[in-house]
Amino acid sequence: MLLTLVVLLGISAQASEKGLIEVNNHVNPKYTVISVINNDYSFDNIEIQCNYTGKTLMSESIKEEVSYQKLINLKNISNGRYTVSLSGNTESIVKEYDVLNGKLFNRESAQDIYEDTKQTRFFMDENNENLTVSHINADKEQLIFVVTNLENQKNIEYIEEGRQLGYSNIYNTEYLRKGTYRATLISGDIFYHYDFEVIR
């Protein structure tokens, strides 16, 4: 448990009658603070898990804790979405948060673009087998390429592509099962999307 006083900026919370999870920005932007209220000792354990890999970042007992805080160094965490969960005998609560380039990322403030722009283009070949993505990265933002199965909302690709000025990638869709997918190129807080179907 943290015994030092922390300065918090912004709050994202998930609560029930028996407990509360808050994900807070720290005054030092490379850290976040996970705060928990455990009313009536309702929860026994806290766990943080990466939604994409399924890897557990931490798991600790809070059986004897009414309140709990954990300082997380975001520089040590890969880009992606994470779930904080509290579990007990009769109830569990969860809170999701996003990490992008070593910082908490507010998905609600992001800009979504679903058409080609001067900076970004998507092109699917006539056989529906290769998706070409090109992007002019004038600000040299960290680029991330994601492919999501829209039917179950699961990411099946999550690739950090670097900060090159001119980016081009050919993604082979041959191994994908029949269904509807979304390719997304993330540049800073802009999400460029392209939806496509696999019908074979």
Helix (H) or strand (E) holding 193, with range, is strand 190-198
Q: Which tens digits make up the pLDDT trace of 101-124?
A: 778 877 777 789 999 999 999 999
Where are the domain boundaries for CATH 2.60.40.3080 in the chain?
8-107, 110-198
CATH number of 110-198: 2.60.40.3080
Q: Which residues, other chains included, contact 96 with Cβ-Cβ below 8 Å and sequence gap of 6+?
A: 51, 81, 82, 83, 84
pLDDT at 4 exceeding the cut of 70: no
CATH number attached to the domain at 8-107: 2.60.40.3080
Burial (Cβ within 10 Å: 0-12, 13-18, ≥19) of residue 77: middle
Give percent above pLDDT 90 in the chain: 46
DSSP-based helix, strand, coil % in the chain, nearest 5: 5, 60, 35
- Note the pLDDT tens digit of each residue in 20-71: 999 988 888 788 899 999 988 889 999 999 887 788 999 999 998 999 999 9
